[in-house]
A and B are shown apart, each in its own frame.
Chain A
Amino acid sequence: MVEKALLEMKGISKAFPGVQALKSVDFLLRKGEVVSLIGQNGAGKSTLVSIIGGIYLQDDGKISIDGKPVNISNPAVAEELGIGMVHQEPTLVPNMNISANVFLNRELLHKGMFLDFRSMNEQTINVLNQLGFKLDPETLIEDLRLVEKEVVEIAKAMLVKPRILILDEVTAPLNTDEADHLFNLVCELKSKGMAIIFISHRLTEVVQISDRIVILRDGRNVGELLREQDPSEKDIIALMLGQNAFETHVDTGSIGFDGEKVLSVANLSKKGFFEGMNVDLHAGEIVGMAGLKGAGITEFMKAIYGALGTDAGQIFVRGGLVGIKKPADAIKHGIGMLTNDRQKEGLALQRGVEENITISSLDILSNKLKFFRTRSLGIQAAKLIKSLSIKTPSLRQEVMNLSGGNQQKVVLAKWLLRNLDFILIDEPTRGVDVKTKTEIYKLLIELKKAGKAILLASPEILELISICDRILVVDSGRIIKEVQRGSASFNEGSILEIMHVDHLSPSCRVGPIGALI
Chain B
Amino acid sequence: MNNIEIKRSTLKAFEHMPRRTELTEAREIFSNSLLLLLFILSIVLAIGGIFVPNVFQIINLANVLRIVSIVGLVALGETLVLLTGEIDLSVGSIMSLSLVVGGLLLDHGSGWALAVTLMCGLLLGLINGVAVAFGKVPSLIMTLGTLSVYGGLANVTAVGQAKYLYGLDLYLWTGKGYILGMPVPVVIFLSMIIICFLFQTFSKPGRTIYYAGANNLAAYYSGISVEKIKIGVFGLAGLFAAMAGPMYASQTNRVTPLQGIGFELSAIAIAVLGGTSIEGARGNVIGTLLGALIYGFLLNILSLSGIGTYMEQVLKGAMLIIIVLVFQNILGRRGNP
Q: How far is the CB of A379 from chain B (nearest CB, A)?
A: 16
Q: A393 and B6 in contact (CB under 8 A), knowing A348-B211, A366-B204, A370-B204?
A: yes
Quick check: A362 and B281 within 8 Å, CB to CB?
A: no
Interface string of A364-384 (1 = CB under 8 A from B): 001000111010000000000
Quick check: B281 and A46 within 8 Å, CB to CB?
A: no
Which chain B residues lie closer than 8 Å to A414 at the CB level?
222
Q: Which of B11, B201, B217, B225 has the most CB of A within 10 A?
A: B11
Q: Say yes or no for A363: interface residue by CB 8 A criterion.
A: yes
Q: Which residue of chain A has the shortest Cβ distance to B202 in the bound complex?
A: A371
Quick check: A349 and B204 within 8 Å, CB to CB?
A: no
Q: A344 and B203 in contact (CB under 8 A), knowing A400-B17, A414-B222?
A: no
- Cα–Cα distance between A392 and B3 once the two chains are bound (Å): 8
Quick check: B11 and A21 within 8 Å, CB to CB?
A: yes
Q: Say yes or no for B221: interface residue by CB 8 A criterion.
A: yes
- Cα–Cα distance between A403 and B11 once the two chains are bound (Å): 9
Q: Which residue of chain B has the shortest Cβ distance to A45 in the bound complex?
A: B12
Q: How far is the CB of B32 from chain A (nearest CB, A)?
A: 11
- Cα–Cα distance between A414 and B204 once the two chains are bound (Å): 16
Quick check: A404 and B11 within 8 Å, CB to CB?
A: no
Which chain B residues lie closer than 8 Å to A494 at the CB level?
none
Q: How far is the CB of A445 from chain B (nearest CB, A)?
A: 24
Which chain A residues lie closer than 8 Å to B9 at the CB level?
41-42, 401-404, 406
- Cα–Cα distance between A16 and B20 once the two chains are bound (Å): 11
Quick check: B8 and A17 within 8 Å, CB to CB?
A: no
Q: Say yes or no for B107: interface residue by CB 8 A criterion.
A: no
- Cα–Cα distance between A363 and B7 once the two chains are bound (Å): 34
- Cα–Cα distance between A343 and B15 once the two chains are bound (Å): 14
Quick check: B211 and A18 within 8 Å, CB to CB?
A: no
Q: Say yes or no for A501: interface residue by CB 8 A criterion.
A: no
Q: Which of A307, A328, A350, A351 has the most CB of B within 10 A?
A: A350
User: Taking chain B's interface residues, is the majority helix, strand, or loop, or is none over half, making it mixed?
Assistant: helix
Q: Say yes or no for A187: interface residue by CB 8 A criterion.
A: no
- Cα–Cα distance between A350 and B208 once the two chains are bound (Å): 14
Quick check: A348 and B8 within 8 Å, CB to CB?
A: no
- Cα–Cα distance between A366 and B2 once the two chains are bound (Å): 33
Which chain B residues lie closer than 8 Å to A403 at the CB level?
5-6, 8-9, 12
Q: A391 and B6 in contact (CB under 8 A), knowing A42-B11, A351-B214, A372-B202?
A: yes
- Cα–Cα distance between A414 and B210 once the two chains are bound (Å): 17
Which chain A residues lie closer than 8 Å to B225 at the CB level?
328
Q: Which residue of chain A has the shortest Cβ distance to B2 in the bound complex?
A: A391
Q: Say yes or no for A47: interface residue by CB 8 A criterion.
A: yes
Quick check: A401 and B6 within 8 Å, CB to CB?
A: yes
Quick check: A345 and B218 within 8 Å, CB to CB?
A: yes
Which chain B residues lie closer than 8 Å to A345 at the CB level?
217-218, 221
- Cα–Cα distance between A46 and B203 once the two chains are bound (Å): 44
Q: Say yes or no for A275: interface residue by CB 8 A criterion.
A: no
Which chain A residues lie closer than 8 Å to B211 at the CB level?
348, 351, 355-356, 359
Q: Say yes or no for B219: interface residue by CB 8 A criterion.
A: yes
Which chain A residues lie closer than 8 Å to B19 at the CB level?
16-17
Q: Which residue of chain B has the shortest Cβ distance to A403 in the bound complex?
A: B9
Quick check: A328 and B223 within 8 Å, CB to CB?
A: yes
Q: A47 and B221 in contact (CB under 8 A), knowing A349-B214, A374-B201, A393-B3?
A: no
Q: A18 and B218 in contact (CB under 8 A), knowing A374-B202, A400-B17, A401-B13?
A: no
Interface residues of A in 393-408 (CB under 8 A from B): 393, 398, 400-404, 406
Q: A355 and B210 in contact (CB under 8 A), knowing A16-B14, A18-B21?
A: yes
Q: How far is the CB of A200 from chain B (nearest CB, A)?
A: 15
Q: A17 and B203 in contact (CB under 8 A), knowing A362-B208, A402-B9?
A: no
Q: Say yes or no for A474: interface residue by CB 8 A criterion.
A: no
Q: How far is the CB of A405 from chain B (nearest CB, A)?
A: 8
Q: How far is the CB of A504 from chain B (nearest CB, A)?
A: 33
Quick check: B221 and A327 within 8 Å, CB to CB?
A: yes
Q: Say yes or no for B130: interface residue by CB 8 A criterion.
A: no
Q: A348 and B281 in contact (CB under 8 A), knowing A328-B224, A371-B203, A401-B6?
A: yes
Q: Say yes or no for B207: interface residue by CB 8 A criterion.
A: yes
- Cα–Cα distance between A497 and B236 once the two chains are bound (Å): 59
Quick check: A349 and B215 within 8 Å, CB to CB?
A: yes
Which chain B residues lie closer than 8 Å to A466 at the CB level?
none
Q: Say yes or no for A360: interface residue by CB 8 A criterion.
A: yes
Q: Say yes or no for B54: interface residue by CB 8 A criterion.
A: no
Q: Which of B3, B219, B222, B281 has the most CB of A within 10 A?
A: B222
Q: A346 and B218 in contact (CB under 8 A), knowing A19-B7, A393-B3?
A: yes
Quick check: B218 and A47 within 8 Å, CB to CB?
A: no
Which chain A residues lie closer than 8 Å to B12 at the CB level?
41-42, 46, 403-404
- Cα–Cα distance between A371 and B195 once the two chains are bound (Å): 13
- Cα–Cα distance between A350 and B19 once the two chains are bound (Å): 12
Interface string of B278-303 (1 = CB under 8 A from A): 00011000000000000000000000
Q: Say yes or no for B220: interface residue by CB 8 A criterion.
A: yes
Q: Out of A43, A327, A370, A393, name the residue touching B222 (CB < 8 Å).
A: A327
Which chain B residues lie closer than 8 Å to A332 at the CB level?
223
Q: How far is the CB of A340 from chain B (nearest CB, A)?
A: 12
Q: Say yes or no for B157: interface residue by CB 8 A criterion.
A: no
Q: Out of A360, A370, A400, name the residue touching B223 (CB < 8 Å).
A: A360
Quick check: A19 and B10 within 8 Å, CB to CB?
A: yes
Interface residues of B in 146-169 (CB under 8 A from A): none
Q: How far is the CB of A516 from chain B (nearest CB, A)?
A: 35
Quick check: A16 and B219 within 8 Å, CB to CB?
A: no
- Cα–Cα distance between A351 and B207 once the two chains are bound (Å): 12
Which chain B residues lie closer than 8 Å to A351 at the CB level?
210-211, 214, 281
Interface string of A35-49 (1 = CB under 8 A from B): 000001111001100
Which chain A residues lie closer than 8 Å to B202 at the CB level?
371-372, 374
Which chain B residues lie closer than 8 Å to A327 at the CB level?
220-223
Quick check: B8 and A19 within 8 Å, CB to CB?
A: yes
- Cα–Cα distance between A356 and B14 once the two chains are bound (Å): 21
Quick check: B2 and A393 within 8 Å, CB to CB?
A: yes
Which chain B residues lie closer than 8 Å to A401 at the CB level?
6, 9-10, 13, 20
Q: Which residue of chain A has the shortest Cβ distance to B207 in the bound complex?
A: A362
Q: Say yes or no for B27: interface residue by CB 8 A criterion.
A: no
Q: How far is the CB of B286 from chain A (nearest CB, A)?
A: 16
Q: Say yes or no for A339: interface residue by CB 8 A criterion.
A: yes
Which chain A residues lie closer than 8 Å to B14 at the CB level?
16
Q: A400 and B13 in contact (CB under 8 A), knowing A18-B22, A307-B221, A374-B201?
A: yes
Quick check: A326 and B210 within 8 Å, CB to CB?
A: no
B residues contacting A by CB (< 8 A) are 2-3, 5-17, 19-22, 201-205, 207-208, 210-211, 214-215, 217-225, 281-282, 334
Could you name 16 residue pairs across A and B whose Cβ atoms are closer than 8 Å? A17-B21, A19-B8, A19-B10, A19-B11, A41-B12, A43-B8, A344-B215, A344-B218, A348-B281, A349-B17, A351-B210, A359-B208, A359-B224, A398-B20, A401-B9, A403-B9
A residues contacting B by CB (< 8 A) are 16-19, 21, 40-43, 46-47, 88, 305, 307, 326-328, 330-332, 337, 339, 343-351, 355-356, 359-360, 362-363, 366, 370-372, 374, 391-393, 398, 400-404, 406, 414
Known: A21-B11, A348-B211, A391-B6. 13 other contacts (CB 8 A): A16-B19, A18-B7, A40-B8, A343-B16, A344-B215, A345-B218, A346-B218, A350-B281, A355-B210, A360-B223, A372-B202, A393-B6, A402-B9
**Top 8 A-B pairs, shortest CB-CB distance:** A42-B8, A403-B9, A348-B214, A348-B215, A328-B223, A331-B223, A362-B204, A360-B222
